[in-house]
Amino acid sequence: MSSYFGKEIHVTIFGQSHAECVGVTIDGLPAGEAVDEEALRVFMERRAPGRGAETTARREADRVEILCGVNEGVTCGAPLAAVIRNGDTRSKDYDKLRDLPRPGHADLTAQIKYGGFQDVRGGGHFSGRLTAPLCIAGGICAQILSRRGVEIGAHILSIAGIEDARFDPMGESKEVLGRVKSAQFPTLDGEAGMRMRDAILKAKREGDSVGGVVECIVTGMPAGVGSPIFGGLESRLAAALFAIPAVKGVEFGSGFGAALMRGSEHNDEIAAEDGKIVTRTNNAGGILGGISDGMPVIFRVAFKPTASILKKQKTVSLSRMEQEELQITGRHDPCVVTRAVPVVEAAAAVVALDALLERNADKL
């Protein structure tokens, strides 16, 4: 059980950082859905490295090649497969990592699981680069969802303790979400964004890295999507979100803050508005009993600081079982949060489309 996910939409991710490509298959997409490759390129561009001083210097076109599943611009019902070639790789940078696992990385655990046969180059299958195929899947799902009025947007809620404004849990317009998507630095508050960039660059100068939080909202989600217990939307979203490297926490609606609240304060008052059931607040984050209640689905995802830092660190030589100093070279993001924003959206889009399709199977 590794790199596949979903029930109606079945996503399989493959590739290693320095293999010929990374890619994805998506089985179960409805037929007849237009795939806008230009819109997908724009979506992928948001995840791409090398846009600013605060991201890794590795430059990749990240050009998506759709191999099959799309015919004359629309899905044909067959599994969609797409790849991104790995062009700009410098494999020699990574040679010694097989013996000297990097602190905070999967080097050690992969070594144990795969008995030394894992592909260590660039982190192999554990690389953040594997979020690119997830973005292909999510980008395509998001196009399909958007045509049904379901919009997904995310922003950087905090980096290094510097906080952006929060999404309005009662809803954000497509315009606001679009503005964040097209921003060079995806915050609601541009000034906070400036300070975040400074903090990233400062960490970079010091050979260090910083973490942060991404907030995501799904608007237009109809009520009644999801299932109780293990089939709940939170379970499925969390499973997809924790598949993103560096994620350490996920919370929905009021999240950890709920632990400090009284029931009378937390319960979202139910009301009727224009013949529709709504709630007056959205502490539930749009989900009750695992099922959407018609309010926006809202959640936050915590990212740890990038593990690959230039500062010297202590590790162990696995061959000699002796302490060693490790100096990581190569190109690394001092903060993954900026590039993680569309990845969080992508994970949400896959789950949202999967759950929406599943709902149709509730009735004959």
Write out the binding residues for its own copies, residues 43-72 only, by CB under 8 A. Answer: 65, 67-69, 71
Rule CB under 8 A: choose which of 39, 42, 76, 201 binds its own copies.
76
Alpha helices in 17-117 (DSSP H): 37-47, 107-114
Is the sign of the CA dihedral 190, 194, 199, 200 positive or negative? Answer: positive
Cα atoms found within 13 Å of the Cα of residue 191, Cβ hemisphere only: 1
Nearest in space to 305 (alpha carbons), one of 164, 192, 203:
203
Q: In terms of CB distance, is 110 or 177 closer to its own copies? A: 110
Rule CB under 8 A: choose which of 38, 115, 175, 319 binds its own copies.
115
Q: Is 183 in the site for its own copies (CB under 8 A)?
A: no
What is the closest distance, in whole angstroms, from the C-beta atom of residue 360 to its own copies in the complex? 4
Q: Is 240 in the site for its own copies (CB under 8 A)?
A: yes
Q: Is 97 in the site for its own copies (CB under 8 A)?
A: no
Distance CA 177, CA 162 (A): 21
Rule CB under 8 A: choose which of 53, 61, 74, 194 binds its own copies.
74
**Helix/strand/coil for 115:** coil
Could you say which residues in the range 283-302 bind its own copies, by CB under 8 A? 283-285, 287-294, 302
The amino acid that residue 244 corresponds to is I
Could you say which residues in the range 325-354 bind its own copies, by CB under 8 A? 353
Distance CA 305, CA 287 (A): 29
What is the closest distance, in whole angstroms, from the C-beta atom of residue 175 to its own copies in the complex? 24
Distance of CA 360 to the CA centre of its chain: 26
Task: Identify whether the C-beta of residue 350 lies closer than 8 Å to the C-beta of residue 342.
Answer: no
Cα atoms found within 13 Å of the Cα of residue 253, Cβ hemisphere only: 25
Neighbours of 204 (CB within 10 A): 21
What is the closest distance, in whole angstroms, from the C-beta atom of residue 171 to its own copies in the complex? 18
What is the closest distance, in whole angstroms, from the C-beta atom of residue 128 to its own copies in the complex? 11
Instruction: Tell me the two tokens of residue 352.
Output: 């949202």
Rule CB under 8 A: choose which of 87, 90, 277, 327 binds its own copies.
277
Could you say which residues in the range 122-181 bind its own copies, by CB under 8 A? 124-126, 130, 144, 148, 158-161
Helix (H) or strand (E) holding 21: strand 21-27
Could you say which residues in the range 200-239 bind its own copies, by CB under 8 A? 203, 207-213, 223-224, 226-232, 234-236, 238-239
Q: In terms of CB distance, is 49 or 232 closer to its own copies? A: 232
Q: Kindly determine how many residues on this chain lie close enough to bind its own copies according to the rule CB under 8 A.
A: 159
Q: In terms of CB distance, is 105 or 181 closer to its own copies? A: 105
